[in-house]
Chains A and B, each alone.
Chain A
Amino acid sequence: MLVSVKNVYKNYTLGKTTVPALRGINLSIQEGEFVSVAGASGSGKSTLLNLIGCLDKPSSGEVWVGERQVNLLSERELNSIRLKTIGFIFQAFNLISVLNVRENVELPLLIRKDISKKERAERVARFIEAVGLTAQARHKPAELSGGQRQRVAVARALVTHPKLVLADEPTANLDSKTGIEIIDLMQAINRENRTTFVFSTHDPKIMQRASVIYHIEDGVLKSELA
């Protein structure tokens, strides 16, 4: 079991009002799965991904990544898990505008003291090639198309060899053809490296590509399809 979410509730406080975002979520994700979290906007998809990604903590319940109950860990330990175990892909790409493709992909490795400069360079080159951007390695994000930017984000997420990649609406800012290409790329990497992918989407064409689909509605897990 790579991820286990047990009876998780997450509430946000807006002034005097408490808004429940997740209500009693239970799910588990096996290593090597290609998982889609589907649901309408505001259903709680991003909140669930943030909890699994150790960016946020549940109001109650347990979140396990591998052997560790991450909702009990310190900020330092969570940083380490995000750095070594989890890769992130965002809807808005979230590339650093002043860095070129190579530098953006290299970003997570810069703070990994266990990886030499030579290995860093090799990994970066390998993943830029894997996403088909070798020719654009010195381009800044502003010089790339939306699809190319998301490929850079995929390479950045994978360069640390994470067990789990979380992608929050990775195709939402792309046209449908490019969106399918990105999902194909993620799926190919999933099959080739057995890297677990969990992505959120509300696009039926995209969610159909997943091996497991979780449907969320108003913070409640409605169905699980395989």
Chain B
Amino acid sequence: MRLLSIALKNIAGNWWRSLSLGLFVFLTSFILIVFNSLFMTVTGNMQDALINSLTGHVQIRSEFTEEEDMLAMKTSWTELHFLSCSDLEGITAVLNSKRLDYTQRVRTNATLIKGVEQDYAMIIGHDPKEAHYRLAFGLEQGRYLSPSATGEVVLASYFAEQLQISVGETIQAVSEAGSVSLTVVGIGDVQMLSMFGYNAVFTDLESARVLAGYESGEATDVIVFVPESDQTKEVFTQLDAELQGVTLSVWEDMGGFVFNGISVYQGMGFIFILVLMVIVSILIINLVFMMGMERRQEIGTLKAIGYSRKDIIQIFLGEILIIAVAFCSLGIAAGSGLVLALSNIGFEFGPPIDFMMGKVFYIQYDFKLIFPMAAIVLLFTLVAALWPSWHAATLDPVKTLRD
């Protein structure tokens, strides 16, 4: 504490150097908060798109199916084992008793035909009352599936272009098991997942059952939505204990290559932080080294009157810690303020940026970012300052006094 008073005086006395160091720390904290919010939002949006359009938080399916078949493009959905009526009765009874939000799904493959145009598609049939897919599927034309009607379809824009079809027209869906006529009520894309080649076709359960060859009451799987993503594991554990003869998976295990895409975003975030911190560390090392050089005579004097290397390192690190804490707090406050201000403004993006950011992007702020970001900045700053501080403390007093 006694040496901190010297550190404080040095900060005030060498205010230009202190300000330079503080500016590095401020900008680093500011950039880390803003860019991490950006990465976190993009990653979160992609996770939400995956969960809401495809996987739910927890999937309950036949015990003879594979974990990643949800997104395995090479696997034919027509060949999937499915849940029987009795399986579904048991599952829905448990889910209802826990008041969980869920929907049955019938997944199958079919050929979509309009006149002479045709294309092969992965069809998802679900309860039209199910609303989660709407959060992920951005409409360009038309509307979502009617909660009460059957024989409607919402198409990915890719198919609309391939089949040259628009809202209100009818297409034929044909599989080995049967065929149905579907009226196109909406055209759009699952935000962010469309860049992975996921072109969604949503219809009602009954139409999908015809195409899959299922009896009434049968489904490929049941997907469960939990209020908060961090409750997934807990709900999974509870359901896994209660449900027999079925397989359960959490969304992270079903994400397949899409989850790899999310990992790429997270990796980009980590690399960005690492590169930024290495640059800042080099700047800090240089700056503290210069501080030591400028204060050679002061260091020599302190050593002459009995200050040890440890005392001098404490003075230097004390100065740097005070500056770092003050300017890191300011940087985090400014970065948080900017993100919070921008979080109410939706940024609209067109192709190709909308593939990555979504059509309308709202940046999100998470208070949980504050402590890890502050810890990273302070840790790197102190570690970067350690060597030049030690170097300054080991200067030969005879040489410094002679200079």
Query: Given A55-B397, A56-B398, A111-B2 in contact, is the A98-B10 Cβ separation under 8 Å?
Result: yes
- How many B residues, CB 8 Å from partner? 26
Chain B 1-23 near chain A by CB (<8 Å), digits 1 or 0: 01101100110111000000000
Whether B306 contacts A99 by the Cβ 8 Å rule is: no
Query: Given A108-B306, A111-B307 in contact, is the A99-B9 Cβ separation under 8 Å?
Result: yes
The reply to whether the CB of B301 lies closer than 8 angstroms to some CB of chain A is yes
Name the residue in B12, B298, B303, B401 with the highest tally of chain A Cβ atoms < 10 Å from its Cβ.
B401
Whether B10 contacts A79 by the Cβ 8 Å rule is: no
Among A87-141, those with CB < 8 Å from B are: 87-88, 90, 92, 94, 96-99, 103, 107-108, 110-111
Query: Given A96-B298, A98-B9, A99-B9 in contact, is the A107-B401 Cβ separation under 8 Å?
Result: no
Chain A 158-195 near chain B by CB (<8 Å), digits 1 or 0: 00100000000000000000000000000000000000
Name 13 A/B residue pairs within 8 A (Cβ), A-sorted: A55-B397, A55-B401, A56-B398, A83-B306, A84-B306, A94-B301, A97-B13, A98-B9, A98-B12, A110-B2, A110-B3, A111-B306, A111-B311
With both beta carbons as reference points, the residue of chain A lying nearest to B304 in the complex is identified as: A88
Query: Given A96-B298, A110-B2, A110-B3 in contact, is the A82-B9 Cβ separation under 8 Å?
Result: no
Q: How far is the CA of A192 from the CA of B375 in the complex (A)?
A: 56
Q: How far is the CA of A53 from the CA of B305 in the complex (A)?
A: 10
Query: Given A50-B398, A55-B397 in contact, is the A98-B13 Cβ separation under 8 Å?
Result: yes
The reply to whether the CB of A156 lies closer than 8 angstroms to some CB of chain B is yes
Q: How far is the CA of A76 from the CA of B300 in the complex (A)?
A: 16
Q: How far is the CB of B373 from chain A (nearest CB, A)?
A: 32
Q: How far is the CB of B304 from chain A (nearest CB, A)?
A: 5
Measured CB to CB, the residues of B under 8 A from A are 2-3, 5-6, 9-10, 12-14, 297-298, 300-309, 311, 397-398, 401-402
Name the residue in A83, A98, A103 with the highest tally of chain B Cβ atoms < 10 Å from its Cβ.
A98
Please pick, from A46, A82, A94, A96, the residue contacting B306 in the complex, using a CB distance under 8 A: A82
Whether A99 contacts B311 by the Cβ 8 Å rule is: no
The reply to whether the CB of A80 lies closer than 8 angstroms to some CB of chain B is yes
Please pick, from B3, B13, B305, the residue contacting A108 in the complex, using a CB distance under 8 A: B305
Q: How far is the CA of A94 from the CA of B298 in the complex (A)?
A: 7
